[in-house]
Structure 1
């Protein structure tokens, strides 16, 4: 009998097929826009277990979710990451398992993750200039990260994508370099507009640049906007006949950005977050211990969605209670 799922929707008619699941709050990078002083432990590291993540995914699958993205912090700091992936891959109805990583362990472990069931890979690479990369991340790891990306491209992933935060001093100067990078590599590079969080107000004011500089450059250079996938993320991606890869933009400050929201977030400790820039959340962990709790878990998730707002309030400089992006994986 074929698997059938009900649809999970909110009060604005938006349907949710995509969950971003943080598996750790720990990050080993010191990115200038997120954790410039590095991650600091504030309590016990009691993050969701592989079995709990599987119970969570099974409940979401019953209400129409087919895609899970693993985020952090940095997911690869978990020694049991492959086990987490394997548990999710065994859940009926979950057809896409994605992960966003800073690439620290990519070259050494990407084959293990692929074998466990990871199907989609995103790597954060904020610059292809080695010194700029070191300045932004706090680590001279660019050659190893790029080697990991090329290794991943040989492992039959459904997609490999790169994320680069759009910063004032690394924006337009890098566009031609990125275009050359994707000339023969079938990867999508997506620039992400710098977002205001609770901890980065001064940095944001000094470094934010509008995403339109990306789309203006792409359109002037002959790149064409591509249609979005049903369960895709918020990026607008462009293609060019002379290039194997794509270049895109995630622009949270653009008008209508939240209109097509199709994703929910769960923290590493099991709290449902309805918006990256919202407040509070709905604790799910007490219902993640056994499959028998699934009906109550689905009811709690569905009930929480009645409180999902129509959109964030970033334009009003109100990032909710998000202190930094590592808390929820962006």
Structure 2
């Protein structure tokens, strides 16, 4: 495989055109698999500034990144989120800006986000049962979140996904509920296997479910697997002619899951994470604030290129290695 000097390519030939950009690690939900005791302020709160965000996105764009996903924690807690979306979308080379959110204020703000340039949203909904949703998240917000999704559809957000973490404790038997919902909804529901984190070992051991059972059920019911696009990563997606929506599966414990990895991560504190479960991040902050914007971008580009030599072939979740990831709010998953 020939390497384009303007692309981020690792030693295994994988091209990285997708950046997951965390802008805060704060979250206002207390999901049982992530922050069961709520957000604990145990890290610095010096999150990336708008200028630093512009510089890091520009550096990635120079290296072939096309898609930016803004994550948290809960990114909608930042009041300057519309400006951040606008800066990302205005960067030359960036063709898609997406947002992952718990949806708590989506209904009130989605119009502003779209006006700023937002193309797509992922909303976390781990159960369509209001009581179970409240039990999982600590908030009775399901109906308000669903109103936000409906508003996003109404104003023309074309790519809408709902993320649901598979767990024995709360949704192992709710596939039929999601299928009924997407019968007439042009939404992709993505079931994500519960991943072990540093603070979540006990919950993982008690609740992990393989997505393979869901896949087998879908195939038996006539669902067909979708061919992946160039910006798609390891997720598997399925469609059915009788349904407006689709089903996706993210199965990090499956064989060769990392083979099609195409994303890198920047933490809210400005560290490059080559994997969600890397043992440490690479601090880019000095580079991001080096001289003029042009100099900062160029220095960051050099660091990014250099870092790719340390990208490993796969995570080691199957060996119970979770790296520095205490909980998923640290990096937005």
- Cross-structure match for 2:312: 309
Deviation at 1:92, TM superposition (A): 0.5
- Indicate whether 1:298 and 2:301 are aligned: yes
- Cross-structure match for 2:329: 326
Query: Which structure 1 residue ranges, 5 or more long, are not aligned?
Result: none
Deviation at 1:45, TM superposition (A): 1.4
Gap change, CA 1:329 and 1:194, over 3 Å in 2: same
Deviation at 1:43, TM superposition (A): 4.0
1:189-242 CA-to-partner distances (Å, cap 9, x unmatched) read 000000000001110010001111110111111111101111123211110001
- Cross-structure match for 1:137: 137
CA contact (8 A) 1:49 1:84 kept: no
- Cross-structure match for 1:211: 211
1:71-120 CA-to-partner distances (Å, cap 9, x unmatched) read 10000000111111111111000010011000011010011111101101
- Cross-structure match for 1:51: 51
Query: Which structure 2 residue ranges, 5 or more long, are not aligned?
Result: none
Deviation at 1:291, TM superposition (A): 2.4
Deviation at 1:172, TM superposition (A): 4.3
TM-score normalised to the size of structure 1?
Answer: 0.97
Deviation at 1:17, TM superposition (A): 0.2
**Structure 2 matches for 1:153-192, cutoff 5 A?**
153-192=153-192
Deviation at 1:29, TM superposition (A): 0.3
Give the number of equivalent residue pairs: 327
- Indicate whether 1:239 and 2:239 are aligned: yes
Q: d(CA) in 2 for partners of 1:24 and 1:148?
A: 22
Q: What RMSD in Å do the two structures reach over aligned CA positions?
A: 1.2
Q: d(CA) in 1 for partners of 2:178 and 2:43?
A: 40
Q: d(CA) in 2 for partners of 1:329 and 1:151?
A: 24
- Cross-structure match for 1:85: 85
CA contact (8 A) 1:51 1:87 kept: no
Partner secondary structure for residue 203 of structure 1 = helix
Deviation at 1:282, TM superposition (A): 1.1
- Indicate whether 1:35 and 2:35 are aligned: yes
TM-score normalised to the size of structure 2?
Answer: 0.96
Q: d(CA) in 1 for partners of 2:158 and 2:125?
A: 19
**Structure 2 matches for 1:2-13, cutoff 5 A?**
6-13=6-13
Partner secondary structure for residue 68 of structure 2 = strand
Q: d(CA) in 2 for partners of 1:58 and 1:40?
A: 32
Moved over 3 A (4+): 169-172
Q: d(CA) in 2 for partners of 1:42 and 1:79?
A: 22
Deviation at 1:5, TM superposition (A): 8.3
